[in-house]
Structure 1
Amino acid sequence: MKIDFIDQGKNFEWGKTSKNYAKYRDIYPKEFYDIILSRNVGIKGQKVLDIGTGTGALPRNMYKYEATWIGTDIEKNQIEYARKLALENNMNIDFFVSPAEEIDYPENTFDAITACQCIWYPDHKVLAPKVAKMLKPGGKFLILYMGWLPFEDEIAAKTEELILKYNPDWTGCKDTRHHVWIPDEYLNFFNVTFQKEFDVKVPFTRETWHGRIHACRGVDASMPEEDLAKWDKEHKKMLLNNTNETFEILHYVSIAELTLKI
């Protein structure tokens, strides 16, 4: 995948992260899912589509609330792991490979559609009218994001420094609290009915933080193998010298709820 305004137009491939993504990126805390439920999304009787599902963390963690979930992703490897994890947990979730722009369900199919950690990637001129079409009257489109805060968390900051040492084109850094991006194309079809940001502390061990960072766009998805090996060694050493075995990383969650115009 290559997008001009992301990583200076450098190519990245989420499929390269899939093994670590499946193992280490299922990290959203209870508060993350609680805010989704508070918007009456993912509840019993609903049918929900998760765009850019990755390895299916959102549908799998929301499954117990008894909505019917479908998850899609452009990367085959991501969907293979999503299916594997759902099967291991006896979850009946339909996952399939598709670019977001090519998803095409009939009108009035879904009660809600979610896009978590992926709003930057699709062509919204194509996707926005499709999202509107696929939703039932009054349906909701949730845009979700969770990111660490490097200006307030020392380990997050040191980790970013090491990524940038080997991948200076990576633009997924230096985050601060802000509203998650709502592309203008959606405002033709939706009203923004809710927005909120709040802090969460996410627990890690040295292994799980190292694995989670492997699974970010700036590392496994885009580093050449030689640089990746050097980064891996230096990051492990940094964690050994600067952290206890267990620690927390300060993150913030941002959510935008868009409701289909009548």
Structure 2
Amino acid sequence: MPSGQFWKTELYDNKLGFVSEYGKEVVELLSPAPGEKILDVGCGTGDLAYDISKTGATVIGMDFSAEMIEKARVKYPTIHFFTGNAEQFQLDETFDAVFSNAALHWMKNAKQVVENVWNVLNSGGRFVAEFGGKGNVNRIVKATTDVLDEDYAIDAEKLNPWFFPCISEYSHLLEQQGFRVTYAVLFDRPTKMEDGEEGLSHWLSGFANQFFANVSEEDKKLLYAKIAARVRNDLFHDDTWYVDYVRIRVKAIKP
């Protein structure tokens, strides 16, 4: 994940818990087995690593955020977690599977990530992941970039931290590396936020703070309100915000 993203672990766990809840479907696709050794890339505060460990697999969790890793260690002291960059990491050990949920879209050097995953997998090992795909949060990104441009003359496109590929682009990266892609799907998943009117502000504060790095806390509230006004007709229904998520889910095998 990019160094400019600051993670608020309490907000992440208490208001953005949908990340781990939806990730349970990806754990099902992973289908971990007792005795397997699995690396969780972008493990966050460790909830899914813990779910995987309950199957009898041995899990190691890695995340770029020291704050996330610190919280994960407190929550799940029996699991090994470490701070690491998926775009650069090298390990002395290998794994039966690499798992990742809601993390790969933070890594713009996707080709290097795929290579690093390949290098730590055993022959026959699998890579199972879900992350933002083409079109993910399009409405929110457009509203954010427009508001920042109008109010601050900021070119927010340059601040965009995300990589949202289409299926063909990401499958090509995997196949180019040597993986055999056995499953790949792109799907819309409008995602319900908690706390009614405050839901979008929680999302922007938790996931999009790189866009607002040079904005005061007072001005952030004003900007959040302006962004909300622009997307309200599309994303606010039944007194609840629904973020316009589009996800890629993949499974690939190292021969």
Same fold (TM over 0.5): yes
The equivalent of 2:252 in structure 1 is 258
Matched, 1:187 2:176: yes
Matched residue, 1:121? 107
Q: CA deviation at 1:66?
A: 4.3
Offset from partner CA, 1:89-143 (integer Å, 9 cap, x none): xxx322111233233132xx32211233225537567655543342222111123
1:97–1:142 distance in 2 versus 1, CA, 3 Å: same
Asked whether the 8 Å contact 2:137–2:243 carries over to 1, the reply is no
Counterpart of 1:83, as a letter, is R
Q: Which residue of 113, 117, 124 maps to 1:138?
A: 124
CA distance in 2, matches of 1:208, 1:198: 22
TM-score (norm 2): 0.71
AA in 2 matched with 1:246: T
Q: CA deviation at 1:172?
A: 5.3
Does structure 1 conserve the Cα–Cα contact (< 8 Å) formed by 2:34 and 2:56?
yes
Q: Which residue of 2 aligns with 1:47?
A: 37
Whichever residue aligns with residue 213 of structure 1, its letter is: L
Residue type matched to 1:112 in 2? A
SS in 1 for 2:43: coil
Q: Does the residue aligned with 1:215 lie in a helix, a strand or coil?
A: helix
4+ residue runs over 6 A deviation: none
Check whether the contact 1:51–1:72 (CA below 8 A) recurs between aligned residues: yes
In 1, the alpha carbon distance for the partners of 2:111 and 2:143 equals: 38
Match of 2:19 among 9, 22, 28: 28
Note the 1:1-262 alignment, pairs <5 A: 12-15=3-6, 17-28=8-19, 32-40=23-31, 42-86=32-76, 92-100=78-86, 101-106=88-93, 109-116=94-101, 117-118=103-104, 121=107, 128-146=114-132, 149-150=136-137, 158=143, 161-162=146-147, 168=156, 169-171=158-160, 178-179=166-167, 181-182=170-171, 184=173, 187-204=176-193, 205=195, 206-216=197-207, 218-219=208-209, 221=210, 223-236=212-225, 239=228, 242=232, 243=236, 245-261=239-255
Asked whether the equivalents of residues 181 and 250 of structure 2 are also in contact (C-alpha less than 8 Å), the reply is yes
Number of equivalences: 240
Q: Tell me if the contact between 1:198 and 1:253 (Cα under 8 Å) persists in the aligned partners.
A: yes
SS for the counterpart of 2:212 is coil
**Contact 1:150–1:160, Cα closer than 8 Å, also in 2:** no
Whole-angstrom distance in 2 between the partners of 1:115 and 1:68: 15
- State the 1:45 CA deviation: 3.5
Contact kept, 8 Å, 2:20 with 2:47, in 1: the verdict is no
Q: What is the distance in 2 between the residues matched to 1:185 and 1:156?
A: 27
Q: Say whether the 8 Å CA contact 2:184–2:251 is kept in structure 1.
A: yes
Aligned-pair identity in percent equals 20
* One-letter code aligned to 2:254: L
8 Å Cα contact 2:39-2:61 kept in structure 1: yes
Query: Residues 15 and 222 from structure 1, CA distance in 2 versus in 1: closer, same or farther, beyond 3 angstroms?
Result: same
Q: Distance in 1 between matches of 2:145 and 2:215?
A: 19
Which protein is richer in helix relative to its size?
Answer: 2
Q: Give ranges in structure 1 of 5+ residues lacking alignment.
A: 3-11
CA contact (8 A) 1:203 1:247 kept: yes
Cross-structure match for 1:5: none
Task: Please report how far the alpha carbon of residue 16 of structure 1 lies from its aligned counterpart in structure 2 after TM superposition.
Answer: 5.0
TM-score (norm 1): 0.70
Residue deviations 1:190-244, cap 9 Å, x none? Answer: 222210122223221333432222122x42x453353453122332476589446
Distance 1:208 1:26, change over 3 A: same
The alpha-carbon distance between structure 1 residues 26 and 102, as it changes in their structure 2 partners (threshold 3 A), is: same
- Residue pair 1:15, 1:78 contacting (<8 A) in 2 also: no
